[in-house]
Amino acid sequence: MDCSKCGTQNPDGAQLCSACGSILTSSEGAKRVSKPRTSRLAIASFVLSICTLLLFFIAAVPSIVLGIVSLILISKSGGKLKGKPFAVAGITISVLLMSAFYLWCLDAPSIPDDYTIADLRSAPPDCNPSYQLLMSVSEQEYPPDAPKIGLTTHDVNIIAQVNEAMKERDHSEISLLLKANEDNINRAWNNSEKGRDLIRRLNTFPEIADLTEPALDAEIRFMRNIRLLVFLYKSYVCLQAQRGHSQTAVNELTELDSVFRKLSVNARSTTTKLVCIGGLANNINTANIIVNTPQTCTHSLQLLAHHFKPLTKQQLSLRNSVISEYLTFKQTLDTDSCKYYCLPRTPCLKRNSTLRLYKNYCDNWLDVIEESHEAKGAELSVWPSTCPNWIVVSIDSQVNVPWIYTAYNPIGSILVRLMIPVFETVYEMQIKLKVQDDLFQIVLNKRLGKKVSLKARAYSEEYTIDVEAKKIFSPGPDGEPNTKDDIKLPINPEVLGLVQE
């Protein structure tokens, strides 16, 4: 056995060199001692880096620390330890995953010059008491009667039945229907003194204020009683016209319609706006019945023409409704209950990004509804400022968003889908009201002996007067005449002088 220090040959089995006294080691033992082993810390670092996919920082930080420590130990082991690739892989994977997680946690910037309640069109401050008047007829619940306006359960049922029956009948049938229910209609009218007094008091204001705060639990229960008054007025006014009291009928109708025209300008919530649209449409139908009634005198027709001028852009505008929907969503997102259930500190809900996506949707619809022809600015980016122009995200017609955005903002995507308002329905009702207003203007001018134009604003080139079917109509959204979605008004051809044509 050769001495590794001096080279002297020694007998096999000797432990000390006979020449220099150094400890002798067999070649097999040397090989066994010098064989390196894989560092357990390096393996642990790599395993923890894989776990980072699920445990994030809980696993990533230890993985990086163990990886660094294992690299140091491997470099100082003199070849006794190995596993450097595991340590490097563990550190690299953990750093990359931590960076990706950090970027995923980032929210988009807050919205500059965001909508506030000041952006809603409001009545002058001296009209604020009109809102308190509206609130005075709010029922705490939805009872079968309407005590705040004086109607009994029987009254409510009768006027609802009469109005429903009037929808699909011509003028001769409406006359018979009103005659059969005359006593009930007069009784309901007498009982509704509270409601009629409300209408009179509201008309003392140049505008009617809507101070409803945008919120999911906003108090708008007063709209039920306002809607009931529309039905009552229609029954009573048409009855008076049939009895030859056209001036009384016109005076009562124009007083009611004035309230809806004033409120519609400042209506905030979509619900309030829809009730206004429905009220205005009902009043147009009522005025149409008066115009087509033979007993209506020329003076009453002139009074109708003076009041029922074409609806203005402000009265038809849905701008308040769109902005109010956005503010309601924003307020809901910031409520304590939403913060509790949605865990705002988790990256699964990016508040600013969610608001940006919702605002883009509302702004796009606002351009359509308001028929804005101005150059549209760029949509707000829903991504963090580190990657503002990454992928354009929008809500499609099925209220879906790209999967990659859902992965980035899962809870926010769900909230947007749950609370997206159906602007298509509101927009369609707005267009139908415009068309109905056009049809009434044609009927009124025809009765007054004026020239009329049948040029249509939507759904067809011209409106149609069907003398045989006793109606004037638009084919509606489907473009096909005599279908369920036709927008129509019943007419009395003899009264309008159409029989000879």
Give the model's pLDDT for residue 30: 44
List pLDDT tens digits, range 123-151. Answer: 999 999 999 999 999 887 778 899 999 99
Number of domains in the chain: 5
Q: Does residue 110 lie in a domain region?
A: no
Distance between CA atoms of residues 46 and 90, nearest Å: 4
- The CA-atom distances, in angstroms, between 151 and each of 104, 155, 187, 195 are 59, 6, 10, 9
Q: Is 25 helix (H, G, I), strand (E, B) or coil?
A: coil
- Please check whether residues 192 and 235 belong to one and the same domain: yes
Residue whose pair of structure tokens reads 């002088």 in the numeric block: 497
Q: Is residue 111 part of a domain?
A: no
End-to-end CA distance of the chain: 134
Residue 114 lies in a domain: no
Q: Which residues of 389-428 are buried (b: 16+ CB within 10 A; e: fewer)?
A: eeeebebeeeeebeeebbebbebbbebbeeebbebeebee
Q: Are residues 202 and 277 in the same domain?
A: yes
Residue 9 three-state SS: strand
Query: Letter for the amino acid at 437?
Result: D
- DSSP for 115-156? --GGGS----GGGHHHHHHHHTT--SS--SSBGGGTB-HHHH
Residue 477 amino acid letter:
P
Residues 415 and 427 in one domain: no
Same domain, 399 and 301: no
Going by the DSSP 8-state scheme, the letter that residue 391 receives in this structure is -
d(CA 492, CA 280): 22
Instruction: Work out whether strand 464-466 and strand 471-474 pair parallel, antiparallel, or are unpaired.
Output: antiparallel
- Same domain? For 92 and 15 the reply is no
* Separation CA 272–CA 263 (nearest Å): 9
Report if residue 212 sits inside a domain.
yes
Q: How far is CA 262 from CA 192, 307, 465, 476, in A?
A: 22, 13, 31, 28
Q: Does residue 430 fall inside a structural domain?
A: yes
Q: What is the pLDDT of residue 31?
A: 44
Q: Report how far apart, in Å, the C-alpha atoms of 278 and of each of 151, 234, 271, 285 are.
A: 21, 13, 11, 11
pLDDT confidence of residue 59: 65
Q: Is residue 115 part of a domain?
A: no
Helix (H, G, I), strand (E, B) or coil at 455: strand
**DSSP type of residue 346:** S
Whether residue 370 is found in the same domain as residue 255: no
* CA count, 13 A, side-chain hemisphere, 253: 34
Q: Tokens representing 86?
A: 């595991």
Which regions in the chain score pLDDT beneath 70? 1-2, 4-8, 13, 15-16, 18-19, 21, 23-61, 63-64, 67, 74, 77-79, 83, 87, 90, 95, 97, 100, 336-346, 372-377, 388, 500-501
482 and 417 together in one domain? no
Distance of CA 284 to the CA centre of its chain: 29
How many of the other CB atoms lie within 10 Å of CB of 171? 19
CA separation for the pair 318, 320 (Å, rounded): 6
CB neighbour list of residue 407: distance below 8 Å, 6 or more residues apart: none
Residue 144 lies in a domain: yes
Which of helix, strand or coil describes residue 489? strand
- pLDDT value, residue 53: 59
Asked if residue 149 lies in contact with residue 117, where contact means CB atoms within 8 angstroms, the answer is: no
Question: Does residue 408 sit in the same domain as residue 443?
Answer: no
**Separation of alpha carbons 397 and 422, rounded Å:** 10
Tokens coding 52: 């980072």
Query: Are 162 and 259 part of one and the same domain?
Result: yes
158: number of Cβ within 10 Å: 21
Do 366 and 429 fall into the same domain?
A: no
The letter for the amino acid at 46 is F
Q: Given 105, 140, 165, which residue is the final one in a domain?
A: 105
Q: Which domain holds residue 441?
A: 423-501
CB 221 within 8 A of CB 139: yes
Final residue belonging to a domain, choices 266, 289, 310: 310
Residue 239: which of 177, 151, 169, 157 has the closest Cα?
A: 177
Cβ 211 vs Cβ 131: under 8 Å? yes
Residues in the chain: 501
Cα 70-72-78 angle, rounded to 5 deg: 100
Kind and range of the H or E run holding 274: helix 270-291
**pLDDT value at position 501?**
45
| 3-state SS assignment for residue 6 | coil
- Does residue 116 lie in a domain region? no
Neighbours of 12 (CB within 10 A): 7
pLDDT score at 259: 96
Specify whether 241 is located in the same domain as 359.
no
210-258 residue pLDDT tens: 999 888 877 788 889 999 999 999 999 999 999 999 999 999 999 999 9
The last residue of a domain, from among 105, 137, 166 = 105
Which amino acid does the sequence have at 18? Answer: S
Give the whole-angstrom CA distance, residue 178 versus residue 186. 11
State the Cα–Cα distance between residues 327 and 436, nearest whole angstrom: 31
**285 and 167 part of one domain:** yes
Number of H helices, E strands in the chain: 21, 5
Closest C-alpha to 407, from 348, 341, 345: 348
